[in-house]
Structure 1
Amino acid sequence: MSLRRRLLITLGASLCLLWLLASAWLLFDLNRSVRDTLDQRLVASAHMVAGLLSQVPRQTWQHTIGPQLSSPPGAGVACQIRSMRGDVLLRTRGDLGSVLNRAPPGFSERTSAGKRWRLYTEFDNGLMITVADRLDERRHLQWGIVLAAALPFVLALLGSLVAAWWSISRGLAPLDRLRAELARRDPDTLSPIVLDRTPAELRPAIATLNGLLARIARALAREQRFTSDAAHELRTPLTAIKTHVQLAARTDGERSRQALRDAEAGIARLQRTLEQLLLLARIEGDGALGSQECTIVSEVVAAALADLSHSERVRSCRIDRSAVIAAPLALAAAALRNLLENACRHSPADEPITLAVTPRAGDVVFTVCDRGDWPAGADPQTLIPRFARHAGAHARGGSGLGLAIVAAVAERFGGRLVLQARAGGGLQSALYLPAAASG
């Protein structure tokens, strides 16, 4: 069931129920008021007759012979005057003698010829005065009043239902505009949704939808970048591997074995590049990567050195092993390993790599220093973008993704990567990761 129909049914049923309850209460009160008013009319009629009779000398009644009739049998009202002895002095309806004669003092009801009568009797100045009216005429009068009063109620109810339908349709118009906007969009259109005169209740939903579109756009951009990067980076090693395999197939002896060794080395580089690309895509993704995890620095250093092929070249100094960072172990260790691996790859084999870990202003700084081939006067920040290389990178097996991964890890957890050229050559790489909150 649609929201519009559900609202119309709910509001319509509520309005009908409320109006019916109000009508029932008013009908009950109206019937009671009409009955009391007509009873008061009977009492007033009896008092009026008594007032008129009080002005007539009592001797007049002694000369009255039999009841005097003054109204036809079909009239809906009747009046009778009797003496205390029971003699009927005046009667307006001759056919109601059996009803009027048996009336007790006060109000009562009697039936004559299938008609129900309401009577009122009182004693005044030695006379018994009885007045009556027919109940079916009372009911006719009551229904006339009810119908006259019910017409405005019915019109008001119908007007309320029309107003509810109009208000609901107008209130749900922004939803219709949103549906139309989404229906008009192409699958490739991921720009934010903008609607005029958007109600406050719909703005959070549109903001959430725009956030979803933005995340989808970022995800698609990452996928396109990953595809482009993979196609760009894998084309050369695949071509080289194919060339080495073809050369091994066409030759024999030492040349064939060397070609196979070169192909195997190319496969290793290709595997490393794929691993780096996948890790970078995972870091830049919006999925949960354990951003609430905390890791001790000693565990990060141990994991990074365990995966490093030339860990014996690393010299540790000033390492605060008790410090805790607000980042998961796997990613922090991968970032530090990439820094150390980059330093080992671009430094002479006999040159040590120094590692220092120190807390600083809410961060934990991992500093790696080498004496590599980076010139002292050049800006090393140009090495951070993906696939950025300098002379000799291909010969040393670099893929141009190591520092990009380190920068992505730092950015993901609120840190940063700072590269500085050292006097005399080489790099100083400082990875800032936020320290975990104490307590």
Structure 2
Amino acid sequence: MSLRLRLLLMIGVSLSLLWGGVAMWMLHDLEGEMRRTLDQRLAMSARMVAGLVAQNPAAWDTVDGAGPAPLTVPATAKGLACQVSSLRGEVLARTPGAAPAAIATVTPGFAEREIDGERWRSYTVEAQGVRITTADRLAERDDLLRDVIAAAVVPFVVALVGSLAMLWIGVRSGLVPLERLRQALARRAPDALTPIPDAPMPRELQPLVDALNQLLERMRTAIARERRFTSDVAHELRTPLTAVKTHLQVARITHGAAAETALDFAEEGASRLQHTLQQLLTLAQVEGPFSWDETERAYADEVARLAIRDAAPEAPGRIVFESHGVPAELALPQALAVTALRNLLDNALCHSPSEQSITLEIEAGPDDVRFRVRDSGPGLLPDELARVTERFWRRDRGRGSGLGLAIVLAIAERCGGSLSLAPPATGGLEAELRLPRAERDRAS
């Protein structure tokens, strides 16, 4: 169902039901008021005749019981009949055309009866020894009520139909900016990621346009990053593959020590290729959809122990571990925390002399845990510090994949942490990784 039709149905049906209910309410009240008014007319007519009788009572006396006095009563309004009779039942006066059975009522007050298929309503009052009865046909009342209702309903229906027509026009014209936006998006090429032009737009649609422009900008940035990433990956994988292929060809055409050396080089190239692919898979997992549902809690000390074991399995003594504060629980899966810290340790071990150690220090704050890794390597220049977290960046194209610190930064940003690098006064490089603490751990 289209938005236009949905709006029309919702507003139109609501408007029709609302005004239909109001109309029924008003017509019900109008019918009751009409009936009360007509009853009051009957009563007032009877009382008016009673007042005339009171002014000249002698004129209504019978003459020696010889019958009614020779008096006449003029015809009243259409549908209204009147009769004046004595208390003994003698008719003294009657309007022309009045049905005797309809107005021959002896009980004071209102009454209804059916005469010759017609229903009559009458009102009787007694005064000065005479009985006055007024009556009218209920069919004429119903005709009058139908005429009044028709006079009220027809303009109402015309106004309602006109309102629905104006509603259709208003909704159609109100949705024109949305239709223009749809047409503008439909005309765009699949690879067009430029922002939607900032044309005059209704205030209600401006947040939608802003959200679309933000989405297009994120898509443009993501596609550009993936294209750059694909280009870098192709270049990085081409080099070790070419080296492996070359060394295998050398091993095939040579013998002895030369062949063994070529095979050793080929094995080293394959290991480098495997490490690069593993780092690429890790980076893809971190930046892609990731499940945070992990039952095992990640504690800072345990993360540090596992990262030291993975980074230096053969020489764990090269890493000096210092912990300050109580054990802190991290607000991220243990695998991510271990991967980030292991890459920091790998980077420090790779750039430190083999005879010197590196330091890992943990400090728990109120909201996060800080992992500081200090090495005694050559350090980095200011322009190198600005590029060291870029993918595949390596100093002088040295060893490694150039993805370790990029993975650390991606994990930190994914979980709401941070990574900072700075050269300490003693030389080398100090990396500080901040990871958020779990909410339940902060409360305790």
TM-score > 0.5 by shorter chain? yes
Measure, in 2, the Cα distance between the counterparts of 1:50 and 1:410: 103
SS at match of 2:391: coil
Return the offset for 1:195.
7.0
Q: Tell me which of 398, 405, 427 is aligned to 2:400.
A: 398
Return the offset for 1:367.
2.6
SS at match of 1:118: strand
SS at match of 2:192: coil
Deviations 1:337-381 (A, max 9, x none): 4444444444554x22232415387652423323x5x38988652
Query: In the alignment, is the contact (CA less than 8 A) between 2:328 and 2:369 conserved in 1?
Result: no
Letter in 1 for 2:390: P
SS at match of 2:393: coil
Letter in 2 for 1:390: R
Which stretch shifts more, 412-421 or 203-212?
203-212
Deviations 1:99-148 (A, max 9, x none): 44455433333444433333333333233333332222222222222222
> Residue in 2 aligned with 1:82?
85
Letter in 2 for 1:314: R
Q: Tell me which of 413, 417, 420 is aligned to 2:420.
A: 417
> Residue in 1 aligned with 2:307?
303
> Residue in 2 aligned with 1:39?
39
Return the offset for 1:230.
0.6
Q: How does 1:84-233 map to 2 (within 5 A)?
A: 84-93=87-96, 96-101=99-104, 103-162=106-165, 164-166=167-169, 168-169=171-172, 175-191=178-194, 196-199=200-203, 212-233=215-236
Structure 2, unpaired ranges of 5+: none
Query: In the alignment, is the contact (CA less than 8 A) between 2:300 and 2:369 conserved in 1?
Result: no
Measure, in 2, the Cα distance between the counterparts of 1:239 and 1:223: 24
Query: In the alignment, is the contact (CA less than 8 A) between 2:62 and 2:69 conserved in 1?
Result: no
Return the offset for 1:179.
3.5
Return the offset for 1:416.
2.2
Measure, in 1, the Cα distance between the counterparts of 2:14 and 2:140: 36
Query: In the alignment, is the contact (CA less than 8 A) between 2:126 and 2:132 conserved in 1?
Result: yes
Letter in 2 for 1:96: A
Return the offset for 1:66.
7.4
Q: Tell me which of 366, 370, 388 is aligned to 1:364.
A: 370
Letter in 1 for 2:32: R
Measure, in 2, the Cα distance between the counterparts of 1:45 and 1:321: 104
Cα distance change of structure 1 residues 329 and 225 upon mapping to structure 2, 3 Å threshold = farther
> Residue in 2 aligned with 1:259?
262
> Residue in 1 aligned with 2:390?
385
Query: In the alignment, is the contact (CA less than 8 A) between 2:68 and 2:91 conserved in 1?
Result: no
Deviations 1:247-304 (A, max 9, x none): 3333344433332332222111111122223333444457466899743235324433
Measure, in 2, the Cα distance between the counterparts of 1:258 and 1:199: 72
Letter in 1 for 2:26: L
Return the offset for 1:317.
5.8
> Residue in 2 aligned with 1:244?
247
Return the offset for 1:233.
1.0
SS at match of 1:161: helix
Measure, in 2, the Cα distance between the counterparts of 1:112 and 1:317: 115
SS at match of 2:133: strand
Return the offset for 1:240.
1.8
Measure, in 2, the Cα distance between the counterparts of 1:319 and 1:238: 43
Deviations 1:149-197 (A, max 9, x none): 2233323433443455455556655654554444333333345556744
Query: In the alignment, is the contact (CA less than 8 A) between 1:417 and 1:431 conserved in 2?
Result: yes
Letter in 2 for 1:367: V
> Residue in 1 aligned with 2:56?
55
SS at match of 2:395: coil
Letter in 2 for 1:49: V
Query: Could you tell me the TM-score, scaled by structure 1's length?
Result: 0.79
Deviations 1:299-353 (A, max 9, x none): 324433334365256152645496547454434443444444444444554x222
Measure, in 1, the Cα distance between the counterparts of 2:37 and 2:381: 111
Query: In the alignment, is the contact (CA less than 8 A) between 1:79 and 1:92 conserved in 2?
Result: yes
> Percent sequence identity over matched residues?
42
Query: Could you tell me the TM-score, scaled by structure 2's length?
Result: 0.78
Measure, in 1, the Cα distance between the counterparts of 2:371 and 2:189: 47
Measure, in 2, the Cα distance between the counterparts of 1:331 and 1:60: 118
> Residue in 2 aligned with 1:277?
280
Letter in 2 for 1:234: L
Cα distance change of structure 1 residues 402 and 49 upon mapping to structure 2, 3 Å threshold = closer
Letter in 2 for 1:121: T
Which stretch shifts more, 426-435 or 126-135?
426-435
Query: In the alignment, is the contact (CA less than 8 A) between 2:82 and 2:133 conserved in 1?
Result: yes
Return the offset for 1:235.
1.6
SS at match of 1:352: coil
1:334 paired with 2:335, answer no
Query: In the alignment, is the contact (CA less than 8 A) between 1:378 and 1:421 conserved in 2?
Result: no
Cα distance change of structure 1 residues 132 and 432 upon mapping to structure 2, 3 Å threshold = closer
Deviations 1:212-249 (A, max 9, x none): 54554444334223211111211222222222223333
Which stretch shifts more, 244-253 or 357-366?
357-366
Measure, in 2, the Cα distance between the counterparts of 1:197 and 1:159: 29
1:431 paired with 2:435, answer no
Cα distance change of structure 1 residues 70 and 262 upon mapping to structure 2, 3 Å threshold = same
> Residue in 2 aligned with 1:268?
271
Measure, in 2, the Cα distance between the counterparts of 1:195 and 1:25: 48
SS at match of 1:232: helix
Cα distance change of structure 1 residues 111 and 305 upon mapping to structure 2, 3 Å threshold = closer
Query: In the alignment, is the contact (CA less than 8 A) between 2:307 and 2:341 conserved in 1?
Result: no
Cα distance change of structure 1 residues 308 and 217 upon mapping to structure 2, 3 Å threshold = farther
Query: In the alignment, is the contact (CA less than 8 A) between 1:376 and 1:422 conserved in 2?
Result: no
